[in-house]
């Protein structure tokens, strides 16, 4: 059997997904045995031009991590889509927009001005801001265009599979690779993840009826070791998050922040979480309810930490 | 934009607010015709996702109306709505959807005039704000 031709790419991401790919450990040898890696900027020296010169659909599968934040990301998404039989949105950024997607609370203009002019540590008296095109004595220089709105991979090109996680757990990554190597592929559009309804289902903490009088941030309290964190007032997204990760965060005393995305059948993870959260507030008094909610300092940022671009509203309506 | 007619989606609870709207109609109270009513059994049935979905599909404003506190036919449903919609309102604020586009209020079966007052007030506020989405983005008629 000819070896599989595999490509890996990073668009707007932190690099964690690259490390997550390597976290499969020894199994990387099984991958190397069954597949040729034809393009992987972090590990092998192939250039964009090499990809352009490949025949269309000559790559069997491309694991694409990172969101679409600028014109270079978009160009590579379209190029790799054309060259690949299967395109897999690997990790939360490609799947739902993730942390880079929080930029959708702002505009390109406000981000650039803040970063290059207003930030206290800047020394930029002439107020220089990166521009897509600039003419210098040596000629014209071009850098990728920085977009207003961060998009997911599937909002940019057709995607065959999704792999959740920020970054995906080792077992999740291997599940996807195993499916590719064996040719035993799930239906198109599947979110490839170990079976599991919600993170709460995999979480060993003891659950009671939830009634909360105050919310806390993790640094404010030392949680009891065995009791559900949400019952202790910590904002745990376990009930609104796809299971399959094995619930490592609540087992390490940290609330789940929701990186595996919405549970099956739900489109908007943030509002699903807010619905559950509001339901456990133990008060019927409007003023007390408001006071309890004051304990949630950044509800939109918290609920949509990983999924703002993929949410129903996709971005905040703000003036430039 | 002079020809802009706001589209307002109103989730009305079956036992009070829907009847209040009905009463406004049968009493021939003048009321802006901008509301698309969606009857739900209780305001406690309205998930924040319903509100977002309405905006996603092209609503310019969303109303959630239920029985007055203490009067919900399922005892606690409107208190649930109160908690959820207060949290949603804060979240929408961060997403640039101001308070004038989203409102939770109480209308009993006998308050046809109150219903029309809320609808008229909201319609004018949203009219002043303009469309929520551009024409190209919007999908509902
Ligand atoms: S809310 Fe968090 S701590 Fe509680 S059961 Fe679910 S995952 Fe575990
Ligand atoms: S517990 Fe939550 S935040 Fe932690 S890995 Fe699982 S889904 Fe991600
Ligand atoms: S039945 Fe009207 S609010 Fe519950």
Which of A275, A292, A320 to mutate to test binding with chain B, by most B CBs within 10 Å of its CB? A275
Structure tokens at A129: 């801001």
The answer to whether the CB atoms of B82 and A267 lie below 8 A apart is no
How many beta carbons lie within 10 A of that of residue A129, not counting itself?
A: 12
Q: Report the distance separating Cα B66 and Cα B9, nearest Å.
A: 14
DSSP B71: -
Does the residue B43 lie in any domain?
Answer: yes
Q: Are A256 and A236 in contact (CB under 8 A)?
A: yes
Any domain includes B1 = no
pLDDT score at B98: 86
Taking residue A318's Cβ as centre, other Cβ atoms within 10 Å add up to 14
**pLDDT string in tens for chain A (320-residue length):** 789 999 999 999 999 999 999 999 999 899 989 999 999 999 999 999 999 999 999 999 999 999 999 999 999 999 999 999 999 999 999 999 999 999 999 999 999 999 999 999 999 999 999 999 999 999 999 999 999 999 999 999 999 999 999 999 999 999 999 999 999 999 999 999 999 899 999 999 999 999 999 999 999 999 999 999 999 999 999 999 999 999 999 999 999 999 999 999 999 999 999 999 999 999 999 999 999 999 999 999 999 999 999 999 999 998 77
Q: Which of residues 223 through 282 in chain A touch B, CB cutoff 8 A?
A: 266-268, 270-272, 274-275, 277-279, 281
Q: Which of B71, B55, B75 is nearest to B19 (CA)?
A: B71
pLDDT of the residue at B133: 82
Q: What's the per-residue H, E or C state across chain A?
A: CCCEEEEEEECECCCHHHHHHHCCCCHHHHHHHHEEEEECCCCCCCCHHHHHHCCCCCEEEEEEECEEEEHHHHHHHHHHHHHEEEEEEECHHHHHCCHHHHHHHCCHHHHHHHHHHHCCCCCCCCCCCCCCEEEECCEEEECCCEEEEEECCCCCCCCCEEECCCCCCHHHHHHHHHHHHHCCCCCCCCECCCCCCEHHHHCCCECCCCCECCCECHHHCCCCCCECCHHHCECCCHHHCECCCCCHHHHCCCCCCCCCCCCCCCCCHHHHHHHHHHHCECCCCHHHHHHHHCCCCCHHHHHCCCCCCCCCCCCCCCCC
Let me know if residue B2 belongs to a domain: no
CA angle B12, B75, A227 (to 5 degrees): 110
Of the pLDDT bands very low, low, confident and very high (cuts 50, 70, 90), residue B141 is very low
pTM of the model: 0.94
Q: State residue B140's pLDDT score.
A: 42
Q: Which two tokens stand for residue A5?
A: 């031709």
Placement of tokens 């949680």 in the chain: A223
Instruction: Please check whether residue A260 is in contact with residue A199, taking contact to mean a CB–CB distance below 8 angstroms.
Output: yes
What lies within 8 Å, CB to CB, of A303 at 6+ separation is: A237, A258, A269, A270, A271, A273, A274, B91
Under CATH, to which class is A4-99+151-182 assigned? alpha beta
Is residue A140 within 8 A of residue A134, CB to CB? The reply is yes
Q: What percent of chain B has pLDDT over 70?
A: 93
When CB atoms are compared, the residue of A267, A274, A289 closest to B48 is: A274
* b/e per residue B19-28 (b: at least 16 CB within 10 A): bbbebbeeee
How many Å lie between the alpha carbon of B79 and the closest alpha carbon of chain A? 6
> Quick one: pLDDT at residue B3?
84
Which domain does B131 fall in, by range?
8-140
Decide if B45 is inside a domain. Answer: yes
* Ligand closest in space to the Cα of A247: 2
Chain B residue numbers touching A155 (CB-CB < 8 A): none
- Burial of residue A245 (CB within 10 Å: 0-12, 13-18, 19+) is buried
Peptide bond into A289 cis (omega under 30): no
The ligand 3 site (C-beta within 6 Å) comprises B 13, 15-16, 42-44, 66-67, 72-74, 77-78
Asked if residue B3 belongs to a domain, the reply is no
A23 touches chain B (CB under 8 A): no
> Closest by alpha carbon to A235, among A205, A256, A211, A213?
A256
CATH number of B53's domain: 3.40.50
List the one residue out of A22, A72, A69 whose CA is nearest residue A48. A72
Sorted by where each begins, the domain ranges of chain A are 4-99+151-182, 107-147, 199-303
Chain A residue with Cα closest to B86: A290
Q: What is the pLDDT of residue B99?
A: 85
Q: Which residues of B touch A277 (CB under 8 A)?
A: 87
**A-interface mutation test, from B9, B46, B49, most A Cβ less than 10 A away:** B49
Return the residue of B nearest to A315 by Cα: B95
Q: What is the rounded average pLDDT of the residues B79-95?
A: 96
Q: Determine whether the interchain pair B84/A318 forms a contact, defined as Cβ–Cβ distance below 8 Å.
A: no
Determine the 3-state secondary structure of B93 from DSSP.
helix
Per-residue pLDDT at A121:
93
Contact B84 A275 (CB under 8 A): yes
Q: Which of A60, A99, A160 is nearest to A305 (CA)?
A: A99
Q: Residue B2: what pLDDT?
A: 64
Contacts of B94 in chain A (CB under 8 A): 105, 298-301, 316
Query: Residue B139: pLDDT above 90?
Result: no
Ligand 1: nearest atom to the Cα of A247: 7
In a domain, B54, yes or no: yes
To the nearest whole Å, the CA of A318 is away from the closest chain B CA by: 6
Atom of ligand 3 nearest to the CA of B16: 2
- Into how many domains does chain B fold? 1
Q: Quick check: A317 and B97 in contact, CB under 8 A? A: yes
Cβ <8 Å between A317 and B79: no
Q: Do A316 and B96 lie within an 8 Å CB cutoff?
A: yes
Asked if B42 and B73 touch (Cβ cutoff 8 Å), the reply is: yes
Q: Is the pLDDT of residue B135 over 70?
A: no
Q: Is A287 on the interface with B (CB under 8 A)?
A: no
Q: What residue has token string 């790419």?
A: A9
Name the residue among A299, A300, A313 with its Cβ closest to that of B56.
Answer: A313
pLDDT (mean) for B63-70: 96
Instruction: Provide the token pair at A119.
Output: 């930030």
Is residue B82, in this structure, part of any structural domain at all?
yes
Q: Which residues of A72-81 are buried (b: 16+ CB within 10 A; e: fewer)?
A: bbbebbebbb
The residues of B whose Cβ lies within 8 A of any Cβ of A are: 47-49, 51-53, 55-56, 69, 76, 79-80, 82-84, 86-88, 90-91, 94-97, 132
Residue B72 in any domain: the answer is yes
A133-136 and A139-142: which strand pairing?
A: antiparallel
């Amino acid at each position: 059997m000819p070896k599989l031709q595999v490509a890996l790419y990073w668009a707007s991401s932190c690099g964690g997904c690259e490390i997550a790919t390597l976290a499969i450990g020894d199994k990387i040898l099984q991958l190397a045995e069954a597949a040729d890696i034809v393009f992987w900027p972090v590990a092998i020296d192939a250039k964009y031009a090499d990809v352009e010169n490949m025949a269309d659909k000559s790559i069997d599968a491309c694991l694409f991590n990172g969101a679409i934040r600028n014109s270079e990301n978009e160009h590579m998404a379209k190029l790799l889509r054309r060259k690949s039989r299967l395109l897999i949105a690997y990790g939360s950024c490609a799947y739902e927009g993730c942390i880079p997607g929080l930029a959708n609370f702002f505009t390109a203009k406000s981000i650039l001005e803040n970063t290059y002019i207003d930030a206290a540590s800047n020394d930029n008296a002439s107020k220089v801001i990166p521009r897509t095109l600039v003419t210098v004595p040596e000629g014209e220089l071009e850098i990728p265009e920085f977009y207003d709105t961060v998009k997911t991979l599937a909002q940019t090109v057709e995607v065959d599979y999704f792999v959740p996680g920020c970054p995906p757990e080792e077992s999740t990554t291997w599940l996807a690779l195993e499916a590719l190597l064996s040719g035993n592929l799930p239906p198109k559009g599947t979110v490839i993840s170990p079976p599991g309804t919600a993170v709460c289902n995999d979480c060993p903490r003891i659950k009671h009826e939830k009634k909360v009088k105050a919310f806390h941030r993790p640094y404010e309290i030392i949680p009891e070791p065995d009791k559900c964190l949400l019952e202790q007032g910590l904002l745990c997204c376990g009930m609104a998050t796809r299971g399959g990760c094995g619930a490592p965060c609540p087992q390490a005393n940290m609330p789940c922040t929701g990186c595996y995305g919405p549970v099956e059948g739900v489109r908007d993870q943030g509002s699903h979480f807010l619905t559950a959260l509001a339901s456990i507030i133990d008060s019927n008094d409007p003023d007390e309810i408001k006071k309890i909610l004051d304990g949630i300092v950044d509800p939109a940022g918290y609920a949509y930490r990983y999924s703002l671009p993929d949410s129903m509203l996709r971005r905040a309506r703000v003036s430039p | 934009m002079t020809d802009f007619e706001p589209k307002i989606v109103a989730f009305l609870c079956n036992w009070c607010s829907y009847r209040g709207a009905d009463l406004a109609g049968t009493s021939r109270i003048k009321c802006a015709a901008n509301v698309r009513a969606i009857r739900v059994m209780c305001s406690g049935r309205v998930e924040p996702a319903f509100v977002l979905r309405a905006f996603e599909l092209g609503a310019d404003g969303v109303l959630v109306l239920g029985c007055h506190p203490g009067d919900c036919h399922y005892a606690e449903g409107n208190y649930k709505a109160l908690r959820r919609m207060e949290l949603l309102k804060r979240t929408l604020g961060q997403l640039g959807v101001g308070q004038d586009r989203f409102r939770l209020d109480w209308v009993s079966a006998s308050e046809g005039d109150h219903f029309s007052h809320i609808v008229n007030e909201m319609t004018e506020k949203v009219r002043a704000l303009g469309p929520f989405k551009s024409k190209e983005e919007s999908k509902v008629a």
